[in-house]
């Protein structure tokens, strides 16, 4: 089945810990994105990547880091520097010649 897989669906983090959210796609898409969504709010862009080994900061990149070592994978690390990380995180991808963005099912991160 083709698509975007995010894992885990729910994650709990203690304050001061780093956590990594996984995003894998088998759509052969070049571009990938990470968004954050707070309850009742819209989506805000954290990072995006157009090709392997390249990525750009979005509006709210502080406290987050990413890597793009493989075309299929775009993991997001929420570091301890992110002061308010509790949110719903969405990964998306886009094919090179397309003008549509496709989203994964999202991951909930809660700081306890």
Partner 1 sequence: LAKTTQPISMDSYEGQEVNITCSHNNIATNDYITWYQQFPSQGPRFIIQGYKTKVTNEVASLFIPADRKSSTLSLPRVSLSDTAVYYCLVLKANYGGSQGNLIFGKGTKLSVKP
Residue 48 CB, nearest approach to partner 1 (Å): 6
Residue 86 interacting with partner 1 (CB under 8 A): no
Of residues 89 through 108, those in contact with partner 1 by CB under 8 A are 90, 92, 94, 96-106, 108
User: Between 18 and 26, whose beta carbon lies closer to partner 1?
Assistant: 26
Give residue 38's Cα distance to chain centre.
14
Residue 56 interacting with partner 1 (CB under 8 A): yes
> CA–CA distance from 103 to each of 24, 80, 91 (Å)?
11, 26, 6
Residue 58 interacting with partner 1 (CB under 8 A): yes
Using the rule CB under 8 A, which residue among 34, 48, 64, 74 binds partner 1?
Answer: 48
* Sign for the pseudo-dihedral over CA of 81, 8, 2, 72: positive
Assign 3-class secondary structure to 36-90.
EECCCCCEEEEEEECCCCCCEECCCCCCEEECCCECCECCEEECCCCCCCCEEEE
Residue 28 interacting with partner 1 (CB under 8 A): no
Contact 87, 35 (CB under 8 A): no
Residues forming the site for partner 1 (CB under 8 A): 4, 6, 30-31, 33, 35, 40-45, 48-50, 56, 58-59, 88, 90, 92, 94, 96-106, 108
């Amino acid at each position: 089945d083709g698509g975007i897989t995010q894992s885990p669906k729910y994650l709990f983090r203690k304050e001061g810990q780093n956590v990594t959210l996984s995003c894998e796609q088998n759509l052969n898409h070049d571009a990938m994105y990470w968004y954050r969504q707070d309850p009742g709010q819209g989506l805000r862009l954290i990072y995006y990547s157009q090709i392997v080994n390249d990525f750009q900061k979005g509006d709210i990149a502080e406290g987050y880091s990413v890597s793009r070592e493989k075309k299929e994978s775009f993991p997001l690390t929420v570091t301890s520097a992110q002061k308010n990380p509790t949110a719903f995180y969405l990964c998306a991808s886009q094919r090179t010649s397309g003008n549509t963005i496709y989203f994964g099912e999202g991951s909930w991160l809660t700081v306890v």
